[in-house]
Structure 1
Amino acid sequence: MEIQDFRCFVVLSEELNFRRAAEKLNMSQPPLTRLVKRLEQDVGVALFNRTTRTVELTEAGQYFLQEARAFLLHADETARRIRHATANASNHLKIGYVPIALHTVMSPFLNRCRSQFPQVELDLRERSTDRIIDQLHSAEIDIGFLYMPAYSTLLEFKRVYREPMALVVPADHAMADRSSASLREFANDIFVLHPRDENPAMHDEILRCCTIAGFSPRTLKQAHDQTCMALLLAGQGIHFVASGLDCLGSKGLHRIAISDTAPALELAIAWRKEDPSAVVKSLVSNLSTVCSQLRRLSSEGQSLH
């Protein structure tokens, strides 16, 4: 048995559905079925009662689930401690970030890293907020720039950037000549949204603001291999962007400020409470200095503390 076998078993035990478990594990269903049969052969008992409609843990399966979770907890903690010990002894700083952070808050931070620790090699990794938190927990990365709100009792968070979102519309949109408008005026438009799992808080905040404005938006979910701006240029809808971010890159699009209820983009830097490296300790102790270099710290022009 391998560690991944235990992880697959735990996911299936939680889902009690082979299709959903396989999707969550990013694998097809037949290999998961074979893995379970192999596990049952290894332990010599049935772990699941399976019918055409239901999947249930046997009594042996319930006991195995407790042991599997304990084993994985110990394995993950051991791996985390090894990675942290290695990181402290290395000259690498691994930084996870959501895409927009690279265009907003990271430049002064990276400049300080290079000036204060020229011997440290920076390893930048684009991630979702959820994955950044997971990899901070497991010590796969040392610092993360992520969307707020985010929560973890194991991490420290410091907000470093906030600004209201603006709407981007195609140049032939009926309101493309406006510099500002109320959100209610876009009630009949289709809103192009990123998949919710990329930033659940922002996705929900957009829907909440639309509700406050008095309507439920029609939405088009952006596929992972598409770009929102390409969809807008193709006339497929409108899209929220950071109001101060110069990322339109096309004369076929126009940005409109929202005069009433607009979602706000908030970014924070996160690091582990328990065991930051000496480099991380030094960098986060000077966050106020780094934050003062940001071009936009909040929609009101005030820094966040």
Structure 2
Amino acid sequence: MALELRHVRYFIAVAEELNFGRAALRLNIAQPPLSVQIRDLERELGVRLFERTRKGATLTQEGTVFLVEARQICDQVARARHAVNQATVGELGHLRVAAVPYAFMETLPRIIPRFREENPHVLIDLRETGTQESFDSLRTGAMDIAFVRQGGPVAGLEVLPLLRGRFELIVPRGHRLAQSHPADITDLAFEPLILTSRQISPYYYDRTLSSMAAAGITPHTVVEATSIQAQLGYVASGLGVSLVPASAHWMQSKHIEWVPLKQEIVTTEVAAVWASGPAPLVLENFLTIVREESAGALETPRTDRSDEFRYPPSIGV
């Protein structure tokens, strides 16, 4: 006979009641089948678990030892059942989240604390990555969701814009365009341009070039930077001018000047991106919070945000 969970449950009932009749009532079965199951269990274990008496039963030494183990078995089964139920509804598991640095300060603080409070048994693996790196990780299954700078569709991925902003022009201190308020994008026709590297952020790279192409400008690119902070650094060093999100106003420098544009070039500051197709329940629960917490956040932020930003010194794209 193979030892089954029901044998353990039957044994615990008899051990706690110390009476086969009362144990049978508790288990909602007849007494003779219960007695048979206990004899089968004793035969399987090779020991006597009970001493039968006219008044009921008492545990043998072996029975006392087995009662401790039997209760642990049932407790473990209960924990396993609870864990499976949690996993079924997405309350247990592992969620891998990638994000550009800007999202850590502007978007994730509204989402991660609430998700952790509502899903305390989900392990969150949160990593800082660039936009293109996030796309690659989502496609290979290394990440479940990413918060990136992306405004348009991406093959094989779902894109949900969460926050939008505007491009502004930054120029070296004393540059001729520093006196233009606002400047016209056509003023950049003959200026050396600092671009965001396409390997880091395809969206920002393409958004910049498409905006200039729409104005009939062929840009003269001199540097492709790997972060917004690097873009500001190149401009501060006098290597050229650049278009960057107005949200980067907090990175003030005495060596650069911000110049608004006549043309409103709207960009996506943060978008949630995940692999197309059916999503695990843990991810679905996370996306519900993302949508709720980001509702109404697609308005274009104002350009003067210096009082709102207190970010760390390295902000990528």
Q: One fold, TM greater than 0.5?
A: yes
> 1: CA distance between counterparts of 2:152 and 2:235?
28
**Does 2:231 match 1:231?**
no
- What is the CA-CA distance between 1:96 and the residue it aligns to? 1.3
- What is the CA-CA distance between 1:166 and the residue it aligns to? 0.9
The answer as to whether partners of 1:94 and 1:123 remain within 8 angstroms in 2 is yes
**Does 2:265 match 1:256?**
no
* Same amino acid, percent of matched pairs: 24
Q: Higher Cα Rg: structure 1 or 2?
A: 2
**Does 2:104 match 1:102?**
yes
CA deviation string 1:7-41 (max 9, x = no partner): xxxxxxxxxxxxxxxxxxxxxxxxxxxxxxxxxxx
Equivalent in 133, 136, 140 of residue 142 of structure 2 = 140
- What is the CA-CA distance between 1:124 and the residue it aligns to? 2.3
Alignment partner, residue 211 of structure 1: 213
> 1: CA distance between counterparts of 2:116 and 2:296?
15
Q: Give the gaps of 5 or more residues in structure 2.
A: 1-86, 303-317
**Does 2:154 match 1:151?**
yes
> 1: CA distance between counterparts of 2:193 and 2:234?
11
Equivalent in 187, 190, 208 of residue 189 of structure 2 = 187
- What is the CA-CA distance between 1:236 and the residue it aligns to? 0.8
- What is the CA-CA distance between 1:273 and the residue it aligns to? 4.3
**Amino acid across the alignment from 1:215:** I
> 2: CA distance between counterparts of 1:150 and 1:134?
15
CA deviation string 1:230-276 (max 9, x = no partner): 21111111121111333423232222221126362353212234453
DSSP-derived class of the 2:160 partner: strand
CA deviation string 1:87-114 (max 9, x = no partner): x897542111233333433321223223
Q: Give the gaps of 5 or more residues in structure 1.
A: 1-84
Alignment partner, residue 300 of structure 2: 299
| Equivalence map 1:192-203=2 (5 Å) | 192-203=194-205
> 2: CA distance between counterparts of 1:239 and 1:103?
23
Q: How many residues align?
A: 212
- What is the CA-CA distance between 1:293 and the residue it aligns to? 7.0
Alignment partner, residue 126 of structure 1: 128
Say what the alpha-carbon RMSD is for the aligned residues.
Answer: 3.0
Alignment partner, residue 243 of structure 1: 246
The answer as to whether partners of 1:183 and 1:261 remain within 8 angstroms in 2 is no
CA separation of 1:279/1:89 partners in 2, compared to 1, >3 Å: closer, same or farther? closer
The answer as to whether partners of 1:206 and 1:263 remain within 8 angstroms in 2 is no
> 2: CA distance between counterparts of 1:127 and 1:280?
19
CA separation of 1:255/1:223 partners in 2, compared to 1, >3 Å: closer, same or farther? closer
CA deviation string 1:161-185 (max 9, x = no partner): 2222111112221232444211112
The answer as to whether partners of 2:184 and 2:262 remain within 8 angstroms in 1 is yes
CA separation of 1:283/1:129 partners in 2, compared to 1, >3 Å: closer, same or farther? same
DSSP-derived class of the 2:177 partner: coil
**Amino acid across the alignment from 1:242:** P
- What is the CA-CA distance between 1:224 and the residue it aligns to? 4.6
**Amino acid across the alignment from 1:299:** T
| Equivalence map 1:29-40=2 (5 Å) | none
CA separation of 1:193/1:238 partners in 2, compared to 1, >3 Å: closer, same or farther? same
> 2: CA distance between counterparts of 1:263 and 1:219?
21
CA separation of 1:112/1:177 partners in 2, compared to 1, >3 Å: closer, same or farther? farther
Runs of 4+ aligned structure 1 residues displaced above 6 Å come to: none
**Amino acid across the alignment from 2:104:** L
- What is the CA-CA distance between 1:129 and the residue it aligns to? 3.0
Alignment partner, residue 53 of structure 1: none
- What is the CA-CA distance between 1:299 and the residue it aligns to? 2.5
DSSP-derived class of the 1:169 partner: strand
Alignment partner, residue 164 of structure 1: 166
The answer as to whether partners of 2:170 and 2:259 remain within 8 angstroms in 1 is yes
The answer as to whether partners of 2:91 and 2:282 remain within 8 angstroms in 1 is no
